[in-house]
Structures are given as structure tokens and as C-alpha cells.
């Protein structure tokens, strides 16, 4: 690990100002992803700004009937909240499907949104990676790609977004709230928060330099039956090969989002109109234009079978 300096911020605006004005500075919350990457020198910040004591750890009801989740609410506290379990069960199930109990105790809501890919070529500093070093090339292309993306990728990067919680948040149409060093606030729909890779895979979100996530707001509950089906290589502590988040209404309509397949939580709203026609129709539309490799082409039929299982459970 390379040397770095450290300080604690006294307010969200101060934290954002420091990071915006100091090259090489990064925010530190739970650190469950950042610190691991620092140990292997994939991330090499020169200064860490600790935001853990800024009071962003509450879950509050909104006037619109939804919930505002502070950026520093731990995954454990969020999944255990009675309102989340009752009204946003897909979110609770997605969180519990991720990582381990120890990590969920520390991992924050904002950190989960901002976690970086688990592509093995990104983690190996001996390999070319456009995310780690823009313009270096992508060793994953033509390499071992079983875990990597089938859609939303490019000829510069085929890594996937690894999270579980953000898949459910995309399904729920969450909104990400931010503040910058001048005190300006933004509300970013989660559909616009994560990016497809294009020519700049090192730019992973819509955040401006130094902009700090302060909360995630959920709209009023959807009702219906909630599901999160995660297919992985082992029963726990593994990232998704394919995951399916879904809310299915009594009339058979619903919403569906996929994880483990793309550069971002993958939801195609036009495909949801096809839910009454079955999983094959939904997946054909949602993955239209997919570019799988020989190693990961199985993800398309796997997504179909996982969704078919969810739809069968919704009918029971």
C-alpha cells in the first residue's frame, strides 16, 4: 500500500470541497472495497477524507410516502429496517444476498452504489486495463470472460457492475442525492447514475469530481410480490453470474432488472410489458443487441431460466 494522508471532515460540503480541490483525494466510508484495492495498489489515493461521522446514517420517511436512506446507513441496518422489509422486500433480499454478515455490518449504502468491478484483469496490475489506466487496452477481451459482461459493454471494456443492492434500487426507481464543495445539490435518477462503458470505462458514474453522495431516496412502495434470485458459483460470498430483481403485481404485470450481466444494473422498461408472455420474451427484448463471448454466452439462457423461476414463484 502506498503512503497517504488522512483527515475527518466536519460536514458533507467540507468533505466535497476537500476532495474536489485536492488531487488524489478520495472519500472514505466503510472502506470495504476501497481499502482492498489500496492494498494491491489498484487504487492509490494520496489523501483520504473520512465521512463516517457526518450524520448521514438515518432512514427517514419522505412527504411523498417513500424513504430517504442516508449514504452511510450500513447494509445490515438497511436490510433489517422494518419499513424496508415490509414495503421494499426486494431491496432487503438483494442486500442479504451480497457479501458476508461482517462486510454488510460495515459497508455503506453509497459505497455499495460506488463499488468497482471485480473483473480479474482490473485487479491484476500486470494486465492491461482501460478502467485502471485509460488507454492501456483491455486484457479481458480475448481472455477468460466467464464472469464478464454480455451487454452495455464496449471494445474498451467488458467488465460487469458487481453489486446486488443497486439492482433492486434500479428496479425501484431510486434517486441518488449529492452535494458538491459549493453546497450545490443534485438528484440523479439511478437509471442515469451508472454508465455504459463506451470509450471511457474509467468514468463509471454521473458524479462530478468531488461530488459526495448524501442519500438515496425510494419512491412510494410498489406493492406486489418481491423477488431477488441470484445465481452464483457457490451458495454464499460470491458475485452473481446472473441475478434477477422483480416485483410482480396480482394482474401479472411487473418490473424486472438484471445483475451480473452488464456495466450497470440492467433494466429495459420496454421489456416489462412482455412479462405476461413469459420469461423468454422478456429476456429477448431486454438483451437485444447483446454481445456475449464463447465463455459467457450461457448467461442469456441462464437469465431466462432465472426469470422463469421467479415468474413461477409469483404465481404460487
Please write the tens of the pLDDT for every residue from 202-224: 999 999 999 999 999 999 999 99
Question: So what's the pLDDT on residue 55?
Answer: 96
> For residue 229, what pLDDT band results from cuts at 50, 70 and 90?
very high
Q: β-strand 212-218 against 225-231: which pairing, if any?
A: unpaired
Contact 93, 227 (CB under 8 A): yes
Quote the cell numbers at residue 236.
454464499
- In the predicted model, what is the mean pLDDT of residues 158-183? 98
What does the radius of gyration of the chain's CA atoms come to, in whole angstroms? Answer: 19
Contact 190, 56 (CB under 8 A): no
Question: So what's the pLDDT on residue 157?
Answer: 98
Burial of 290 (0-12, 13-18, 19+ CB in 10 A): buried
The CA-based angle 177-180-185, given to 5 degrees, is 40
Quote the cell numbers at residue 261.
450481466
Look at residue 237 and tell me whether its pLDDT is greater than 90: no
End-to-end CA distance of the chain: 52
Question: So what's the pLDDT on residue 192?
Answer: 98
Contact 97, 243 (CB under 8 A): yes
pLDDT digits (tens, 9 = 90+) for 102-131: 999 999 999 999 999 999 999 999 999 999
Question: So what's the pLDDT on residue 145?
Answer: 98
Is the whole model's pTM more than 0.95, yes or no?
A: yes
Look at residue 236 and tell me whether its pLDDT is greater than 90: no
Contact 69, 78 (CB under 8 A): yes
Q: For all residues of the chain together, what is the average pLDDT?
A: 97
Amino acid at each position: 500500500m502506498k503512503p497517504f494522508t488522512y483527515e475527518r471532515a466536519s460536514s458533507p460540503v467540507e468533505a466535497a470541497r476537500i476532495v474536489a480541490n485536492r488531487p488524489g483525494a478520495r472519500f472514505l466510508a466503510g472502506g470495504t472495497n476501497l481499502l482492498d484495492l489500496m492494498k494491491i495498489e489498484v487504487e492509490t489515493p494520496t489523501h483520504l477524507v473520512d465521512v463516517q461521522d457526518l450524520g448521514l446514517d438515518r432512514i427517514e420517511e419522505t412527504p411523498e410516502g417513500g424513504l430517504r436512506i442516508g449514504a452511510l446507513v450500513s447494509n445490515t441496518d438497511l436490510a433489517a429496517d422494518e419499513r424496508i422489509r415490509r414495503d421494499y422486500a426486494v431491496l432487503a433480499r438483494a442486500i442479504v444476498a451480497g457479501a458476508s454478515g461482517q462486510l454488510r455490518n460495515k459497508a455503506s449504502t453509497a459505497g455499495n452504489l460506488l463499488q468497482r468491478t471485480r473483473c480479474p484483469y482490473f485487479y491484476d496490475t500486470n494486465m492491461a486495463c482501460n478502467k485502471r489506466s485509460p488507454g492501456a487496452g483491455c486484457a479481458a477481451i480475448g481472455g477468460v470472460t466467464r464472469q464478464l459482461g454480455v451487454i452495455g459493454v464496449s471494445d474498451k471494456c467488458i467488465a460487469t457492475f458487481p453489486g446486488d443492492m443497486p439492482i433492486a434500487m434500479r428496479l425501484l426507481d431510486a434517486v441518488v442525492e449529492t452535494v458538491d464543495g459549493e453546497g450545490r445539490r443534485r438528484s440523479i435518477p439511478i437509471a442515469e447514475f451508472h454508465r455504459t462503458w463506451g470509450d471511457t470505462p474509467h468514468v463509471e458514474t454521473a458524479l462530478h469530481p468531488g461530488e459526495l453522495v448524501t442519500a438515496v431516496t425510494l419512491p412510494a412502495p410498489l406493492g406486489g410480490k418481491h423477488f431477488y434470485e441470484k445465481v452464483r458459483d457457490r451458495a454464499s460470498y460470491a458475485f452473481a453470474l446472473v441475478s434477477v430483481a422483480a416485483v410482480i403485481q396480482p394482474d401479472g404485470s411487473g418490473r424486472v432488472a438484471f445483475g451480473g450481466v452488464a456495466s450497470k444494473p440492467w433494466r429495459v422498461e420496454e421489456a416489462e410489458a412482455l412479462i405476461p408472455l413469459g420469461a423468454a420474451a422478456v429476456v429477448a427484448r431486454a438483451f437485444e443487441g447483446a454481445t456475449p463471448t464463447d465463455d459467457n454466452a450461457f448467461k442469456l439462457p441462464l437469465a431466462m431460466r432465472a426469470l422463469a423461476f421467479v415468474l413461477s414463484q409469483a404465481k404460487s
